[in-house]
Structure 1
């Protein structure tokens, strides 16, 4: 008899002879539905886990707030602080100093930068700076022979014809006293090549899009731990290799891989933390996970201030990723996932370790294995229809995936709601990253600007809860988008009225708008989960997240390309998008005090009291707008039950 058959026989014996479950001496009591459940006797008998039907029940047995849970949470969320170092670094890696056309004859004649600017470069009164991509069409060889003073006394001596024309130039000089070495200065990412600079940040968000599309499937297929470890290895290698990139194309490719694997690590860790968290702690944990992001946000400009050359700066940003190596020894796979996959022995080892660290007594192995099998049976009973997916052909599964992607737009009652939610996600992400990375167009200190942005992340999260409790989801979202729009329009007005001045006022209104949109971004996560039925909830959040990534991908192009033509244009666009989002949010229903819709067919006919009397009642869209009692909301604590996914 092999080991597997012995294990099955042991489980069978435990099920067939419940009396054997009472041979432990320990009494472990658990509150379940307001009653105490006795799991054993204090006379040397083993515990009884026949009441365990879900993983949450099993988690209560090994402990939900012990030393293992706390240490694992700290270990996991610490890595969240590493993510902003790569996500928000492009303004420092690609810092753009003052630049002007390279004029070889004057440089070879040892003219100073200021002398070259005075003679050759037009001055813009609107921006208060010299033009970086244009120069006067002079005979600079003759100017070099005449000398600076003689040429400036009579510039007509070096003119081509009777008038001075302005032409574009193909090469530039940079003011290296401002920044000694950046991605921009090394690969000339200005003027006609400015779009390539925006692409260095665009690929970061593109990597996040790949994460949304791919890593969820990979985690469900291979588990959380393997995906984390693969992502950690690739992230560390590509992070350091990016610092040694020989060409711009290689640099962009490596930054894409860094972003994708960094987001994959974050997503896998987040899912693991939420799966190992008791239901009563999930709302708090979902919010606390965001705090390390704010800390990393503030650290990002600090590192850049100390390390200026871009290659060493990229190396410094990659260095903290080495912390994630500890996952190879300390991070287990998710026992919840292992149980659903039928890998009971592996899950048993992890659960035993958790119980030991938490100093919780655990029944014998056959008892725990029987409980795991019961959990799987309960889940299989609830999801029996999904088992047929494994037997489907590749083509049928592909068509099913395509149908699932667009299903939210094919349901009449959900179509408008879906489009509004998608736009709100798109707007929140675009405006958030647009404001966060817009220091250049505001002509302010990027180090201070981004540090303040990180510092104000914390109050953004804190103001949200009282707003949800006393105002509700819908009114809060509308108000936050309106506040953001007003603040960003104020920035636009200041730029128009006081070009090149009033830096303090621009920073104040810009950061005020960011506080509002940060809170709106946090709210829209939870709001989306409450707006859609269980059958479509994960799909809605996933597709909305994809829309958000599209918005964040567009932000650097808006700031760098559109802002390069008209400095106030990005603020005008961000303010307009925020205002539109506020108006569209009025269409959404209020979900405060409403239950999360659980039905797989929310808008089909449902039985109610009228149906019990022989009639039936169809759920209308108006019924959905009104909502019903929300069991996920606790009026005594004033805390929402839905957490950020």
Structure 2
């Protein structure tokens, strides 16, 4: 969470706090007072050179992890490092759960992830060192993302082909919108400690044990792994709830068993399996690359929006509304347009908006009157990237067979998290370089300069 901060006033300057910020803090190109620089010699009002300060004063009304761990100015990059470590935790967790989900089943992996998430969440909420906060955050992110991926896999393998695109789009897009909406609301709760806010943001993970009792094993995975008796036990209650006779399930499974035996006898002399393996590998590589590209664009826009929040807050709210409208539009057209044309169109629009966002960020850097143009383009880019994430997910669910379904979906999410991790590291490096460039105008500090602090 962002917190207002400014360079701390040295003891040798006899000014009130408002006068200190008004007189000695330089004004940046966006018209706002600088948060991390101060005039080189506060006692000399004719000295317009500025330097970076390490000793900062923060807003006392808010208790955040940023203020407690001093994650501002030259330590601001640690916040991006935390995001990168969380993404790495998710990446490792998804790869592990993908293998276990395809080998042992989707449902048995869920309680293992929940057992890791439940103790990791309180440790993350009440961590008193930033190192512990980052480590527990990585465990929390990874252990909560894996059940999400496995439950989506079960959804894909349990619903009909006609309803799959709409249901999957609704679930993925709703999770994105609700997560952002809850985060936006909780961040604006006044006079609440960051530990409580972190606990509230992690509260939905405490209902994950209910999912283990509500979710059944994927019948398609059971059939693909030749466990027909277990598949029959799962499909009989489903047939009863849908008003279908139990004899239909038994007859269907017998036909499936006969077909599996016929395929096993013919696979030894057929080259179809080898050809399908080559096609599947190519699909997985393309899928991983597309997910990586979409998510890295999404997170770079998120970080850019976070940096611009000090000048205006309306883009964050407009982004939430734009994503909701984009979700409604996607649900209207998902079953009416060919999936290949849909994903090509969405990616082309996203590529165009990313180019426009880059141009707007460069051309409006010193023009406060044109910032609204950059904000509008940024909002549209975020909404399009969200749609791209969902469409890519649906596209993969339509292409990959059940045997590799869990691996494919987890690999898709892992590619996205790799993109998010690199986006965080890129943003971290970019901000450090930008801050160093701004300090080129400064000169050596005088006798009454703002000296670095050990805090």
TM-score, normalised relative to structure 1: 0.56
Aligned to 2:121: 239
Aligned to 2:185: 302
Aligned to 2:272: none
Matched position secondary structure for 2:306:
coil
- In 2, the alpha carbon distance for the partners of 1:492 and 1:564 equals 17
Matched position secondary structure for 2:197:
helix
Matched position secondary structure for 2:111:
helix
Aligned to 2:5: 98
- In 1, the alpha carbon distance for the partners of 2:216 and 2:4 equals 47
The equivalent position to 2:380 in structure 1, one of 502, 512, 522, is: 512
Deviation at 1:271, TM superposition (A): 0.7
Deviation at 1:169, TM superposition (A): 4.0
Question: Is the 8 Å Cα contact of residues 101 and 135 (structure 1) preserved in structure 2?
Answer: no
- In 2, the alpha carbon distance for the partners of 1:530 and 1:329 equals 27
- In 1, the alpha carbon distance for the partners of 2:400 and 2:245 equals 40
User: Could you list the per-position Cα deviations for residues 313-335 of structure 1 after superposition, in whole angstroms to 9, with x for gaps in the alignment?
Assistant: 10111112222221243222223
Question: Is the 8 Å Cα contact of residues 231 and 261 (structure 1) preserved in structure 2?
Answer: yes
User: Could you list the per-position Cα deviations for residues 586-615 of structure 1 after superposition, in whole angstroms to 9, with x for gaps in the alignment?
Assistant: xxxxxxxxxxxxxxxxxxxxxxxxxxxxxx
Deviation at 1:509, TM superposition (A): 1.8
The equivalent position to 2:235 in structure 1, one of 310, 327, 351, is: 351
Deviation at 1:478, TM superposition (A): 5.8
- In 2, the alpha carbon distance for the partners of 1:488 and 1:432 equals 12
The equivalent position to 2:219 in structure 1, one of 311, 332, 335, is: 335
Matched position secondary structure for 1:289:
helix
User: Could you list the per-position Cα deviations for residues 485-510 of structure 1 after superposition, in whole angstroms to 9, with x for gaps in the alignment?
Assistant: 354145325632424x5554333221
Question: Residues 366 and 438 of structure 1: is their aligned pair in 2 closer, same or farther, counting only changes over 3 Å?
Answer: closer
1:324 aligned to 2:208?
A: yes
The structure, 1 or 2, with the larger RCO (C-alpha pairs under 8 Å, 6+ apart) is 2
Number of aligned residue pairs: 425
Question: Is the 8 Å Cα contact of residues 432 and 517 (structure 1) preserved in structure 2?
Answer: yes
Aligned to 1:83: none
Question: Is the 8 Å Cα contact of residues 473 and 527 (structure 1) preserved in structure 2?
Answer: no
Structure with larger Rg? 1
Question: Residues 348 and 477 of structure 1: is their aligned pair in 2 closer, same or farther, counting only changes over 3 Å?
Answer: closer
Structure 2 matches for 1:66-77, cutoff 5 A?
Answer: none
Question: Residues 335 and 328 of structure 1: is their aligned pair in 2 closer, same or farther, counting only changes over 3 Å?
Answer: same
**5+ long unaligned stretches in structure 1:** 1-93, 139-151, 386-403, 570-645
Structure 2 matches for 1:318-467, cutoff 5 A?
Answer: 318-363=202-247, 373-374=257-258, 377=261, 380-381=264-265, 424-443=290-309, 448-463=314-329, 465=333
Structure 2 matches for 1:215-294, cutoff 5 A?
Answer: 215-293=97-175, 294=177
- In 1, the alpha carbon distance for the partners of 2:112 and 2:66 equals 31
Question: Residues 348 and 208 of structure 1: is their aligned pair in 2 closer, same or farther, counting only changes over 3 Å?
Answer: same
Question: Residues 382 and 463 of structure 1: is their aligned pair in 2 closer, same or farther, counting only changes over 3 Å?
Answer: farther
Question: Is the 8 Å Cα contact of residues 494 and 506 (structure 1) preserved in structure 2?
Answer: no
Per residue, is there more helix in 1 or in 2? 2
User: Could you list the per-position Cα deviations for residues 294-329 of structure 1 after superposition, in whole angstroms to 9, with x for gaps in the alignment?
Assistant: 233323211222264311110111112222221243
Question: Residues 328 and 96 of structure 1: is their aligned pair in 2 closer, same or farther, counting only changes over 3 Å?
Answer: same
The equivalent position to 1:200 in structure 2, one of 82, 85, 99, is: 82
Matched position secondary structure for 1:321:
helix
- In 1, the alpha carbon distance for the partners of 2:352 and 2:249 equals 57
Matched position secondary structure for 1:440:
helix
- In 2, the alpha carbon distance for the partners of 1:536 and 1:244 equals 39
Structural RMSD (CA): 4.4
